[in-house]
Amino acid sequence: MRSTVIAAHTAIVAAIVTVDLVVTTRFAPPAAFAANPALATGWNDTQIAWRSYEDGLAEAKRTGKPVMVVVHTTWCPYCKQYQTLFKDPRVVAAASRLVLVMVDRDQDKELNVRLGPPGQTYIPRTLFLTPDGALRADVAVPTAGREHLVDYYDPDELLSLMAKAAEHSPAPN
């Protein structure tokens, strides 16, 4: 089941990215969209303290907590489904052991590529970093080529990865 969902996701994202590249190279975004909308609107920003990448890394270095980075776009249907997991009380509780960072692939294309991993710029993508910003390759799903594509319908996989990332983190504040 998971491999079928991933294969379908891969095909649809490839088509969307192709259309997205054509559209973004031919048309300028509307002024209202370019004005950097709220960082984590729709991602339970009332209960989870989302940070920008720079602010998140600074907080992680200061607190010693690991970082969870979610790379998304505002238009992606899979990202919108993934948003719902962050309303789960268990995910909210697990988030207190990590520094959560939100990256909009369309707003920060350079950071999206830099976060990678190389050749992996699909969305949504969830990466776990050490407090000093190094990628935790051991905190990923066991799907070659899509190691950072977390199940966006069921929070169990996300919770498992969050727990693994937080194993050696300080207690929540």
CATH number at residue 97: 3.40.30.10
Confidence of residue 170 (pLDDT cuts 50, 70, 90): low
Residue 36 pLDDT: 37
60 falls within a domain: yes
The CA–CA distances, whole Å, from 135 to 66, 99, 118 equal: 10, 14, 12
Tell me, what DSSP letter sits at residue 154?
-
pLDDT higher than threshold 60 for residue 6: no
Count of domains in the chain?
Answer: 1
Render pLDDT for 26-66 as a digit per residue (tens, 0 to 9): 333 333 223 334 667 889 999 999 999 999 999 999 999 99
Q: Tell me how far apart the alpha carbons of residues 53 and 102 are, in angstroms, rounded to a whole number.
A: 7
46 falls within a domain: yes
Q: Tell me how far apart the alpha carbons of residues 46 and 44 are, in angstroms, rounded to a whole number.
A: 5
- Which residues are CB-contacts of 130 (< 8 A; sequence separation ≥ 6)? 60, 66, 67, 136
The residue segments making up the domain with residue 69 are: 38-166
58 falls within a domain: yes
31 falls within a domain: no
Query: Can you tell me which residue has the tokens 């692939």?
Result: 105
42 falls within a domain: yes
Sign of torsion over alpha carbons 163, 147, 125, 111: positive
Render pLDDT for 107-160 as a digit per residue (tens, 0 to 9): 999 998 888 777 778 899 999 999 999 999 999 888 878 888 898 999 999 999
pLDDT higher than threshold 50 for residue 18: no
91 falls within a domain: yes
Q: Are 71 and 115 in contact (CB under 8 A)?
A: yes
Q: State the pairing for strand pair 67-72/50-51.
A: unpaired
pTM above 0.85, yes or no: no
CA 90 from centroid of its chain's CA atoms: 18
Residue 173 pLDDT: 56
57 falls within a domain: yes
Residues 93-100: what's their mean pLDDT?
97
Sign of torsion over alpha carbons 147, 160, 100, 165: negative
23 falls within a domain: no
Residue 10 pLDDT: 53
